[in-house]
């Protein structure tokens, strides 16, 4: 689907963008933390709760059957989005964090033993560090870290060294939420698979920008959240290869994940239900389907091109301000810019930007090791989505110049 983007039409779909903050039109540049929701997603949520709210999979009555059908349609929509082989390879979770925790917990139970290692990278979000630390600690395994270069790219020679006989799994981000770096995931997976090492990809920052094909990538697990791709909060996805998911023990016990329960023995349900204990987040899963439709109607090619233009424009405008330091200058980036404004603390700059109606994120962005690597207090991060404009970037640039003068 190739057409130019009708920005006015797109922005009209996001009611939140029409408001003012402190008497200024809202400029929302915090999309890497969460994206805003189009009206159709909000309507899908309201529609569910006003017409078919019911518990799913277990009811013979009309509402339950309607809700079950809508829920399972969402699963097929996700399967098609990432080109999984089977719908039962799609597990619904609360977000990328829970997806990673699920794999870390279940995988380590089955496969990790003392002396083994798990490999992650230096650019990981805390969600792809802490669960592995916990798993390794419990199993007396080692956690090893692939270093990064000054520009925010991965050190491939070091990566290859770490993929040794002790390595039982590689867990790595597709896109860095702080640096914007897009990792060469296919190359990384091929290197790991050459050593028979399974790979988990944290796709939380990739899925709203990049067309992901899990069969082409050949990853073993792929995790992402709905709320960073225009869907509601509280819903996420774990994709796992059928064979891998069948080998893993369940993550949680309860209703839905069982086949047969006696006090002596329980047999577990088949995929995907084995990993979906309890009542799921039905309304938000239905909202996720609408968000995917929104993305697909615009098309990943168009989204990628448009956001790249915003990135290039914002980068060139920032570079014209004296004393701006951009953190993360990889040649291949998504529309995220982390930067510092002279010696002004990111938090101070962020507070003033907020008073001018501009929402950015400041701090370590749940990537403290990245911030420590650059020996900085944190960054100001502007992250762009399909509804942002060059005019909004101009407003931010003018505000940054004003802030510089205030601190001069």
- As annotated, the active-site residues are 366
Share of the chain residues as helix, strand and coil, in percent rounded to the nearest 5? 45, 20, 40
Rounded to whole angstroms, the Cα distance separating 347 from 263 reads 55
- Comparing CA positions, the residue from 400, 368, 365, 293 lying closest to residue 31 is 365
Find where tokens 């990993």 sit.
Answer: 275
Burial of 316 (0-12, 13-18, 19+ CB in 10 A): exposed
Cα dihedral 124, 223, 36, 152 sign: positive
Rounded to whole angstroms, the Cα distance separating 101 from 47 reads 31
Q: In terms of residues, how long is the chain?
A: 408
Q: Dig out the tokens for 197 from the structure.
A: 């090492």
Query: What does 169-202 look like in DSSP terms, one character per residue?
Result: EEEEESB-TTT-BB--HHHHHHHHHHTT--EEEE
Rounded to whole angstroms, the Cα distance separating 40 from 44 reads 6
- Beta bridge partners, 173, equal 202
Helix (H, G, I), strand (E, B) or coil at 335: coil
Rounded to whole angstroms, the Cα distance separating 107 from 93 reads 16
Rounded to whole angstroms, the Cα distance separating 64 from 251 reads 26
- Are 307 and 209 in contact by the 8 Å Cβ rule? The answer is yes
């Amino acid at each position: 689907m190739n057409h130019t983007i009708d920005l006015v039409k797109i922005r009209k779909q996001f009611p939140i963008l029409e408001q003012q903050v402190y008497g200024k039109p809202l400029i929302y540049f915090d999309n890497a933390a969460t994206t805003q929701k189009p009206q159709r997603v909000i309507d899908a949520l309201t529609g569910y709760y006003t017409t078919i709210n019911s518990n799913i999979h277990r009811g013979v009555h009309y509402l339950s059957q309607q809700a079950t059908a809508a829920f399972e349609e969402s699963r097929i929509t996700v399967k098609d989005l990432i080109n999984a082989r089977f719908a039962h390879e799609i597990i619904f979770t609360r977000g990328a964090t829970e997806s990673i925790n699920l794999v870390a917990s279940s995988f380590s139970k089955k496969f990790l033993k003392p002396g083994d290692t798990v490999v992650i990278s230096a650019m990981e979000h805390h969600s792809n560090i802490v669960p592995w630390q916990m798993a390794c600690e419990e199993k007396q395994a080692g956690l090893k870290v692939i270093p990064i270069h000054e520009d925010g790219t991965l050190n491939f020679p070091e990566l290859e060294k770490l993929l040794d006989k002790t390595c039982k799994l590689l867990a790595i981000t597709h896109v860095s939420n702080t640096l914007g770096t897009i990792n060469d995931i296919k190359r990384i997976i091929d290197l790991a698979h050459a050593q028979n090492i399974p790979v988990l990809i944290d796709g939380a920052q990739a899925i709203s920008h990049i067309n992901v094909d899990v069969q082409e990538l050949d990853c073993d697990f792929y995790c992402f959240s709905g709320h960073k791709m225009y869907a509601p909060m509280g819903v996420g996805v774990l994709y796992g290869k059928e064979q891998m998911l069948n080998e893993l023990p369940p993550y949680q016990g309860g209703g839905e994940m069982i086949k047969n329960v006696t006090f002596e023995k329980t047999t577990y349900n088949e995929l995907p239900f084995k990993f979906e204990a309890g009542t799921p987040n039905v309304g938000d899963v239905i909202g996720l389907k609408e968000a995917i439709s929104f993305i697909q109607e615009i098309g990943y090619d168009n989204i990628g091109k448009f956001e790249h233009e915003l990135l290039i424009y914002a980068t060139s405008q920032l570079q014209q301000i004296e004393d701006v330091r951009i953190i993360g200058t990889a040649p291949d980036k998504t529309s995220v810019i982390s930067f510092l404004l002279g010696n002004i603390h990111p938090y101070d700059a962020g507070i003033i930007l907020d008073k001018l109606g501009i929402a950015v994120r400041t701090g370590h962005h749940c990537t403290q090791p990245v911030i420590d690597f650059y020996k900085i207090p944190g960054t100001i991060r502007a992250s762009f989505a399909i509804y942002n404009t060059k005019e909004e970037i101009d407003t931010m640039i003018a505000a940054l110049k004003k802030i510089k003068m205030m601190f001069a």
